[in-house]
Structure 1
């Protein structure tokens, strides 16, 4: 998925840390669900709490967001359409989506060199070595 606010397979705890660090009502990101295979989670920061909404992909490729009982389900052709809809106020979320929390890219080798973090062997654990017989 090529959205800057899609964080993939991060934990709920990591998600909460990112959203709380931003600390603005309406901050949001999307991650893969840890408990429901194939589902996504739209996580929204509002008044010091994180609200999580599950997003399901239908067989036809459409997206729908899980709603409370009695609330009509909305179906969206793309994830971009879903986000666009919920950027508007009063669409059924705790607040409208305002501040996407973008995924940070891992440092490339040239950036690690500048920061003095080029020793790739620092990341290797002793148990990763194998004794080679003569």
Structure 2
């Protein structure tokens, strides 16, 4: 997923720290659920509390937010459509989505490690080598 507010597999605790650090009502991010396989969590900061809404992907690829019994479900074609809908006030969340908390980019070294390119010899120029005599 290529959304700047999608944080992937971060813990609930890490999520709460990020949202509390931002500290603005309407701050939000999306992460993978720790307890429900395949579900996403929309986490929203409001009045010093974090509200978590589960997002499920249906067989047709559509997205829906889990609702309380008796509340009609809304289905969205894309995650972008879902976010756009909840940016408007009075759509059923504790507050509207206003401030996406963007994922920070990993440091250069850790990115190289993930790509398997942490070989110090990659940066050595051919002119750095010398011939060794027998």
Report TM bin, short chain.
0.7 to 0.9
Of stretches 110-119 and 46-55 in structure 1, the one that deviates more from structure 2 is: 110-119
**Higher mean displacement: 82-91 or 109-118:** 109-118
| CA distance in 1 between partners of 2:20 and 2:127 (Å) | 36
Question: C-alpha deviations, 1:52-88, integer Å up to 9, x for none?
Answer: 0000000000000001111100000000000000000
Higher alpha-carbon deviation: 59-68 or 117-126: 117-126
Residue in structure 1 matched with residue 9 of structure 2 by the alignment: 9
In structure 2, the partner of 1:60 is 60
Uncovered stretches (5+) of structure 1, i.e. residues with no partner: none
Match for residue 34 of structure 1? 34
Deviation at 1:122, TM superposition (A): 19
Question: SS of the counterpart of 2:80?
Answer: helix
Q: How many residues align?
A: 134
- What stretches of structure 1 move > 6 A for 4+ residues in a row? 110-134
Change (3 A) 1:59 1:118: closer
Matched, 1:126 2:126: yes
Alignment root-mean-square deviation, CA: 7.8
